[in-house]
Amino acid sequence: MGNITDKVMGNYNLKLADTRIADFPRYDFFKEVKPQARYLTPIAWMLSFPDFWKHKTRLSRDLKGVKPPYLLLCNHNGFFDFKVMTAAIFPRRANYVVALDGFINREWIMRKVGCICKRKFVNDLELIRQTARLLKQKQIVVYYPEARYSLIGTDAVLPDSLGKMIRFLKVPVVTLISHGHHVNEPAWNQTNRGIPTTAELKLLLSQQEVETLDAKTIQQRIEQGFKYDDYAWQLKNKIVQGAPDRAEGLHRVLYQCPHCQTEYRMTSLGAEISCEACGKRWQLTEYGQLEAVEGETEFPHPPDWYEWQRANVRREVETGVYQLECEVLIDSLPNSDGFVPMGIGWLRHDTNGMTLRGEHAGETFEVTKTVPSLYSIHIEYNYIDKKMDCIDISTLDDTYFVYPTTRDASVTKVALAVEELYKFWSREPC
DSSP letter at 225? H
pLDDT in tens, 328-342: 999 999 999 999 999
Q: For position 13, what pLDDT does the model report?
A: 53
Residues 67 and 186 in one domain: yes
Residues 181 and 279 in one domain: no
Among residues 100, 94, 87, 85, which one has the least CA distance to residue 113? 94
Structural domain harbouring 50: 31-236
What is the number of domains present in the chain?
Answer: 3
CATH of the domain at 38: 3.40.1130.10
CATH of the domain at 384: 2.30.29.30
Residues 110 and 257 in one domain: no
Handedness of CA 125, 220, 175, 139 (dihedral sign): negative
15 within domain boundaries = no
Q: CA–CA distance from 103 to each of 38, 43, 338, 403 (Å)?
A: 20, 18, 9, 21
Backbone φ and ψ of 254, nearest 5°: -95, 85
- Average pLDDT score over the chain: 93
Q: For position 65, what pLDDT does the model report?
A: 85
**Identity at 141, one-letter amino acid code:** V
Residues 45 and 153 in one domain: yes
- Mean pLDDT computed over 12-26: 73
369 within domain boundaries = yes
213 within domain boundaries = yes
CATH of the domain at 257: 2.20.25
Residues 232 and 142 in one domain: yes
13 within domain boundaries = no
- Mean pLDDT computed over 287-316: 98
Residues 72 and 108 in one domain: yes
Under the banding of pLDDT at 50, 70 and 90, the label for residue 20 is confident
11 within domain boundaries = no
Burial pattern 342-353, b for ≥16 Cβ within 10 A else e, equals bbbbebebbbeb
pLDDT in tens, 209-232: 999 999 999 999 999 999 999 999
Residues 291 and 177 in one domain: no
**Identity at 266, one-letter amino acid code:** M
23 within domain boundaries = no
**Domain closes at, from 236, 267, 284:** 236
* DSSP E strand boundaries for 361-410: 363-370, 378-383, 388-394, 399-404
331 within domain boundaries = yes
60 within domain boundaries = yes
Confirm whether pTM is higher than 0.85: yes
Residues 286 and 331 in one domain: no
